[in-house]
Structure 1
Amino acid sequence: MHYKGKLYRALNPLYAREPFSGRGAELYGGRFNPKGMPALYTSLTIMTALSEANQAGSLQPTTLVSYDADFETCDQNLLEKHRITPQALSNTTWRDEMSLRGEALTQQLARDLKNAGFHGLVVRSFAPGTTDADLNIVLWIWGTSLPNRLSVIDDERRLSR
């Protein structure tokens, strides 16, 4: 699936000056990236990005970043062809799997898709209160030029202050 449009990411203000860093995901692993593999978790809407960044407790200080994106991703149709079910994607025990086996099924899927040449994955948000309409794009490969272009929207250079 080709995606061209806006993406949003809600960041802890401590990391706002590094909007292209996937370092946190690389250090700790995420639902769709194993430890050691950088990833950017982005959303198609502002509200989904806020839901993703504030999954526990009350809303914390957050810096919202907007991107222009143009790249190829894997979507639900391709996953279904490979017999990856929505239930497997939404498994709430992925952290337990990661602790026990070193890598959760969804993390293995991400590694396989990246190795197959996909730059990212379109997947619904599993943050509390979200629905099937709340979509994320998890990026494993991004850069400043095609075929995996991602550019931060910061015309006034606010992030560099």
Structure 2
Amino acid sequence: MLLQDGRYAGPLYRALNPVYAREPLSGRGAALHGGRFNPKGTPALYTALDPATALREANQVGSLQPTVLVSYKADIGPIFDTTDMEALNQYELSSQILADPGWRAQMLEGRPVPTQDFVRRLLTDGFAGLLTRSFANGAVQSNPNIVLWRWTGEDYALEVVDDENRLGRM
């Protein structure tokens, strides 16, 4: 079981564009561009529970690009579990809507994106993030992600693992 009482405690991984490597806790890139699970203007950290999934997430278009892999220690919640169909139904959402590959085109055309509207509701309801399967090419149902919108403050613990200050020397 990944979540205990709606919280996740354990390692998380994120593959960053080197432009953001010095700011692995900023969420700025996601805020600038928007994503499946964050509207433009909403900072987000798209993390994975294993390094390979993190690499897939960061390199979804074309060939593998330069990437910085970062590890975190996390104890954060509440996290919404999208694998809980009953909870998902309460938000009038389905697995098919979550997986819809057309979200990016909708966003670029200025049309509503159901997954971004869902996130707005989760934020209003006090969620720090959500647990979902990865939709990156090559990912399978057993490759989960945790997307975070809130990770700083007394209720959240998210720490970059960088004992040797390698990111500070980039």
User: Could you tell me the TM-score, scaled by structure 1's length?
Assistant: 0.94
User: Contact 2:20–2:29 (CA<8 Å) still a contact in 1?
Assistant: no
Matches within 5 A, 1:46-85: 46-72=51-77, 73-76=79-82, 77=84, 78-85=87-94
Match of 2:162 in 1: 154
Q: Report how far residue 31 of structure 1 moved.
A: 0.3
**Alignment partners' CA distance in 1, 2:99 and 2:32:** 22
Deviations 1:7-46 (A, max 9, x none): 0000112211100011111111100000111111000000
Question: What secondary structure sits across from 1:142 in the alignment?
Answer: coil
Match of 1:127 in 2: 136
Q: Matches of residues 94-113 of structure 1 in structure 2 within 5 Å?
A: 94-113=103-122
Residue 146 of structure 1: how far off its partner (Å): 4.0
User: Which residue does the alignment assign to 1:24?
Assistant: 29
Query: What residue identity is the alignment partner of 2:131?
Result: V
- Segments of structure 2 that go 5 or more residues without pairing to the other structure are 1-5
Structure 1: distance between partners of 2:92 and 2:156: 26
CA distance in 2, matches of 1:5, 1:147: 15
The total of aligned residue pairs comes to 160
SS in 1 for 2:80: coil
* Residues 102, 148 of structure 1: alpha-carbon distance in 2 compared, 3 angstrom cutoff: farther
**For residue 3 of structure 1, what is the amino acid of its counterpart?**
Y
Distance in 1, matches of 2:142 and 2:121, equals 26
Q: Partners of 2:108 and 2:165 in 1: how far apart?
A: 40
CA contact (8 A) 2:74 2:159 kept: yes
Distance 1:99 1:55, change over 3 A: closer
Asked if residue 117 in structure 1 is aligned to residue 126 in structure 2, the reply is yes
User: 1:60 Cα deviation (Å)?
Assistant: 1.5
Aligned to 1:37: 42
Q: Is the 8 A contact 1:71 1:146 kept in 2?
A: no
Computed over aligned residues only, the root mean square deviation of the Cα atoms, in angstroms, reads 1.3
